[in-house]
């Protein structure tokens, strides 16, 4: 049986429960806590109850509902309507449950994007069983995080959890996972940090996860991973499993990444503001390490620099190998992305760069990519593209999709349910670059080509950094 990576949102149901043992007494400051190995049976009779008592009230269950079109063409026939009833083939409501955590007393909640994505209605319930409607104020698919705000709070101040510094966590540190697995109710599980900086997980664009053996199951998505001071060090998001249940390999988004998304929401933003590098990077292989005289295959090779970008103004060059950000080592492009985008906007970052066999420092400005109007357009002509909502490729979108500055195309931002484009397999984030051997540079190009009368369509797209050409029927 093959292992699967499973986001831990739960369709139909989800929740979490259990207390365990403690190896060291908690201290007020996570950075100053003393790490002690248990030396006697008495040491493991201590309880997590004080930590749970402080943290659990801020953990919520997130319920998302979506109306799913389920129209059956047979219902147009009076015969079938007579024998199967009017409800046969009618739209149905799909529900999913996940977890979340309140991070601001006014009612700001963090959860996973995959828990609420596409939902028509979202609610949360507190540990005391009260329910509240919420608004989704920000969704960030790149990190798989979403920020909700409780409606009609009537001035109530909610219990909150503070963020810890996830960069201070060490392998072996004890942690608690709190959430609502399988819909059974709020549950607490314990474990340790099994690994840090996992970058080959494949859940979201930013790959830099905390791995834990604390039991995480479907429904735990969006719930907090807390340290022994009761602070958030991560947001639980996925498990690696052969059975669909916990097998001791769970992944959490580091708190320092979550802070960036929360900060954007708290300033009223509907999109996350992050530093923009303006360069395309590649992992360092053993051959590249030997070529550049590196001691080991680690770092990120610059393969393309966008003109007038922060990277270009800082003097970054093709062939440079970035090995650190503000003296924190980076092993690959994913690690660089995490270190770079969690830096505060407005200042500078010092990149450690190996150039011509010698390491040097490059100061790069921490600024966002330039804003460009998206020129949104929906394809309505009957073709394989019918139902696509597309925008022109901007500098910011190119950065998100990790494509070079020389690439042209239009980006799919939505696919209408039941449309021809959905049947042909188009997905959000696809970059359409050519149709029938004709380049697509702007949205109007694809709109014009979609109005053609071709019986067969040759379509070239980029998806996940890979270029794909497919032959589609008319």
Report whether 207 contacts 142 (CB < 8 A): no
**b/e string for 430-465 if b means 16 or more Cβ within 10 A?**
bbbbbbeeeebebbebbbebbeeeeeebebbbbeee
Report whether 175 contacts 233 (CB < 8 A): yes
End-to-end CA distance of the chain: 38
Alpha-carbon gap, residue 457 to 437, rounded angstroms: 10
190 is catalytic: no
The DSSP line for 449-472 is HHTS--SEEEEEEEETTEEEEEEE
- Nearest in space to 199 (alpha carbons), one of 345, 303, 344, 300: 300
Alpha-carbon gap, residue 111 to 221, rounded angstroms: 7
173 is catalytic: no
Alpha-carbon gap, residue 437 to 396, rounded angstroms: 26
Q: Which of 63, 114, 229, 309 is catalytic?
A: 114
Q: Which of 144, 332, 337, 445 is catalytic?
A: 144
144 is catalytic: yes
Parallel, antiparallel or unpaired: strands 250-254 and 232-241: antiparallel
Q: Which helix (H) or strand (E) holds 333?
A: helix 333-341
Catalytically annotated residues:
114, 144, 221
């Amino acid at each position: 049986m093959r292992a699967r990576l499973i986001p831990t949102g739960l369709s139909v149901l989800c929740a979490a429960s259990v207390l365990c043992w403690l190896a060291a007494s908690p201290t007020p400051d996570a950075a100053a806590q003393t790490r002690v190995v248990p030396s006697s049976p008495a040491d493991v009779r201590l309880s997590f109850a004080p930590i749970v008592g402080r943290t659990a009230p801020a953990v919520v269950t997130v319920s998302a509902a979506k109306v799913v079109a389920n129209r059956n063409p047979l219902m147009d026939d009076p015969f079938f309507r007579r024998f199967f009833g009017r409800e046969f083939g009618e739209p149905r409501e799909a529900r999913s449950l996940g977890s979340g955590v309140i991070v601001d007393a006014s009612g700001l909640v963090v959860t996973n994007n995959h828990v609420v994505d596409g939902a028509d209605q979202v609610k949360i319930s507190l540990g005391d069983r009260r329910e509240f409607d919420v608004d989704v104020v920000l969704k960030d698919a790149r990190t798989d995080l979403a920020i909700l705000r409780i409606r009609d709070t009537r001035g109530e101040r909610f219990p909150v959890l503070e963020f810890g510094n996830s960069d201070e966590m060490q392998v072996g540190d004890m942690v608690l996972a709190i959430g609502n697995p399988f819909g059974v109710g709020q549950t607490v599980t314990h474990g340790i940090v099994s690994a840090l900086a996992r970058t080959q997980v494949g859940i979201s664009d930013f790959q830099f996860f905390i791995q834990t053996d604390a039991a995480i199951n479907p429904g735990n998505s969006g719930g907090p991973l807390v340290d022994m001071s009761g602070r958030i060090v991560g947001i639980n998001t996925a498990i690696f499993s052969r059975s669909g249940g916990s097998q001791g390999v769970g992944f959490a988004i580091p708190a320092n990444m979550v802070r960036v998304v929360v900060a954007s929401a708290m300033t009223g933003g509907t999109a996350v503001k992050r530093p923009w590098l303006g360069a395309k990077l590649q992992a360092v292989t053993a051959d590249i390490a030997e070529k550049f005289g590196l001691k080991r295959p680690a770092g990120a090779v610059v393969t393309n620099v966008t003109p007038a970008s922060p990277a270009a103004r800082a003097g970054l060059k093709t062939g440079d190998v970035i090995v650190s950000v503000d003296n924190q080592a980076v092993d690959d492009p994913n690690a660089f992305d995490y270190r770079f985008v969690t830096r505060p906007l407005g200042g500078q970052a010092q990149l450690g760069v190996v150039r011509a066999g010698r390491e040097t420092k490059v100061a790069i400005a921490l600024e966002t990519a330039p804003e460009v109007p998206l020129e949104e357009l929906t394809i309505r002509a009957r073709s394989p593209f019918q139902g696509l909502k597309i925008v022109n490729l901007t500098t910011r979108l190119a950065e998100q999709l990790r494509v070079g500055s020389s690439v042209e195309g239009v980006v799919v931002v939505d696919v209408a349910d039941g449309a021809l484009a959905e049947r042909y397999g188009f997905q959000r984030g696809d970059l359409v670059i050519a149709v029938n051997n004709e380049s697509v540079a702007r949205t109007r190009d694809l709109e014009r080509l979609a109005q053609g009368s071709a019986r067969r369509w040759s379509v070239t797209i980029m998806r996940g950094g890979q270029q794909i050409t497919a032959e589609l029927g008319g």
